[in-house]
Amino acid sequence: MNTADTIELFRRYVVPNYGRFPVVLARGEGSHVWDAEGNKYLDLFPGWGCNLLGHCPAPVVRAVQEQVAELIHVPNTWYTEAQGRWAEALSQRSFGGQAFFCNSGTEANEAAIKLVRLHCMPKRRYKIITFAGGFHGRTFGATTATAQPKYHEGLGPLMAGFVYAPFGDLAAVERLIDDETAAIMIEPIQGEGGVNIPPEGFLAGLRKLADQHGLLLVFDEVQTGCGRTGEWFAYQHFGVVPDVMTLAKSLCGGVAGGALLTTAEFAPSLRPGMHAATFGGNPLAARAGIAALEMIDEQNLLARAKVIEQLFRDRLTELAAQCDVVREVRAVGCMIGLELIQDGSPVVKGCLERRLLINCTHGTVIRLLPALTLTDEEAHEGCDILCDVIKGLPTA
């Protein structure tokens, strides 16, 4: 089927809730995808951050192929070795806790919200403090946790019990804490909000406030987790350990999966009957998740993230020096933001015309979430195109 025919199918049969580029993707390998007409693209934003290991990473493909012929799905009324091994692998790479599995980031955050409420209910505490510019997902709890009015428009009334603080403002957080506050929930590095790195000491300050007031500290690592930033989890850069952490996106090397990790102290609050996900922790996701973690270890990809970060930082800092339109370069591992002083959508369009896939978030921030398997040559090729397009902007 050609591009026009597929787009016509969507026009007739698919709910139009996404803004889509007029490209039909047909195949992917590493940091490249091909469209239905056979055109090849370099992808510096593979799968909105889900394809951290590139498209169709061989170990994940092999694990899924093996598993799909053995057992596709069984519910959580049974045990599977794969889910247990997956939980162990995540626990060993993080803070030694326990996992609840689901299928997406928003579901992981819903589980976190429920855990917080269940744990704090005896003390009649239920409020959760979240942060301006944060993003936590599209279900009602997670949408309410997302302190961005544009995502709330027309949806009210939202869920009760969320209060919002400016990102980075510890004093404001302290002022919001009262006798009903149960938790603080934050992305340790904001993704959708524009690759915002917290000011020095901010996360440690939140940990201290949480401890002083008996609050749970929840880190949403849906975008930053599983190796994206050059550590297994972003909190490891800051030396601040959360009580609860949520994961999804790259968790299963591109296969759908989500997880909540928490300590053995808090885990029992999600007691039987209070929360579930039918597909959560299914054998396919579990095998893909284990394969993804092992691939990162075997190919030393956490170290590779730091090399890629430096390459982009050098190239984009050089661009910023030449080009007034660039306000700031922010990068942690393979999470890269380039803030412009103007709308970034012409940059995305210009790159697409040159067959480079990137993203613009928050209006002015060019966001790149390249694969850890990106080669130097591919990184330079992407930077060459991006720099050319930015330099060619009308006001640049």
Ligand X SMILES: Cc1ncc(COP(=O)(O)O)c(C=O)c1O
To ligand X, the closest distance from the beta carbon of 321 in angstroms equals 30
Q: Distance (Å, rounded) from C-alpha 344 to C-alpha 28?
A: 26
Q: How many helices and strands (H and E) does the chain possess?
A: 12, 15
Among 55, 93, 125, 136, binds ligand X (CB under 6 A): 136
User: For residues 152-211, which are near ligand X according to CB under 6 A?
Assistant: 187, 191-192
Nearer to ligand X, 126 or 151 (CB): 151
Indicate the residue among 141 and 161 with the shorter CB distance to ligand X: 141
Euclidean distance between CA atoms 141 and 124, whole angstroms? 19
Please pick, among 220, 243, 266, 312, the residue that the annotation labels catalytic. Answer: 220
CB closer to ligand X out of 146 and 269: 146
Of the candidates 100, 233, 249, 266, the residue annotated as catalytic is 249
Q: Could you tell me the smallest distance in angstroms from the CB atom of residue 137 to ligand X?
A: 4
Q: Does 248 bind ligand X (CB under 6 A)?
A: yes
Instruction: Please tell me what DSSP assigns to residue 392.
Output: T
- Near ligand X by CB under 6 A, which window of 8-16, 135-143, 202-210, 234-242? 135-143
CA–CA distance, 40 with 34 (Å, rounded to integer): 4
Please identify, among the stretches 216-224, 271-279, 328-336, 384-392, the one whose residues bind ligand X according to the rule CB under 6 A: 216-224
E-strand spans in 201-321? 216-220, 244-247, 258-262
In whole angstroms, the minimum distance from the beta carbon of 165 to ligand X comes to 17
Indicate the residue whose CB is closest to ligand X: 105
110 lines the binding site for ligand X (CB under 6 A): no
249 a catalytic residue: yes
Catalytic residue among 100, 135, 219, 233: 135
Q: Which of residues 333-362 bind ligand X (CB under 6 A)?
A: none
* Cβ nearer to ligand X, comparing 187 with 339: 187
CB of 99 to ligand X, least distance (A): 16
Number of residues that bind ligand X (CB under 6 A): 14
Q: Does 223 bind ligand X (CB under 6 A)?
A: yes
Instruction: Kindly tell me the burial class for residue 25, based on how many C-beta atoms sit within 10 Å of its own C-beta (0-12, 13-18, 19 or more).
Output: middle
| Residue closer to ligand X, measured from CB, 251 or 390 | 251
Q: Where does this chain touch ligand X (CB under 6 A) — which range of 14-22, 220-228, 321-329, 354-362?
A: 220-228
**Quick one: which of 101, 135, 167, 312 contacts ligand X (CB under 6 A)?**
135
Contact 113, 317 (CB under 8 A): no
Of the candidates 44, 94, 86, the residue with the CA atom closest to the CA atom of residue 234? 94
We find the least distance from the C-beta atom of residue 375 to ligand X, in angstroms, to be 26
Closest to ligand X by CB, 135 vs 320, is 135
Report in angstroms the alpha-carbon separations of 192 from 182, 189, 241.
25, 10, 22
User: Is 40 in the active site?
Assistant: no
Contact 141, 295 (CB under 8 A): no
Sheet strands (E) in the chain: 25-29, 32-35, 40-43, 98-102, 127-131, 162-165, 181-186, 216-220, 244-247, 258-262, 326-332, 335-340, 356-357, 359-361, 365-368
Q: Draw the binding track, 88-107, toward ligand X (x: CB under 6 A; -: no contact).
A: ----------------xxx-
Of 278 and 310, nearer to ligand X (C-beta) is 278
- In this structure, the strands spanning 258-262 and 98-102 are antiparallel
282 lies in the site for ligand X, by CB under 6 A: no
| Near ligand X by CB under 6 A: residue from 57, 137, 141, 194 | 137
Q: Is 309 in the site for ligand X (CB under 6 A)?
A: no
Q: Give phi and psi for 376, each to the nearest 5.
A: -60, -40
Residues 6 or more apart whose CB falls under 8 angstroms from that of 186 comprise: 130, 131, 134, 167, 203, 206, 218, 219, 220
CA 258 to chain centre: 11
Structure-token pair, residue 306? 């730091």
Question: Helical H runs in 49-104?
Answer: 58-68, 81-93
Q: In terms of CB distance, is 223 or 311 closer to ligand X?
A: 223
Q: Confirm whether 384 is a catalytic residue.
A: no
Alpha carbon distance 111, 114 (integer Å): 5
**Residues involved in catalysis:** 135, 220, 249
Residues that bind ligand X (CB under 6 A): 104-106, 109, 135-137, 187, 191-192, 220, 222-223, 248
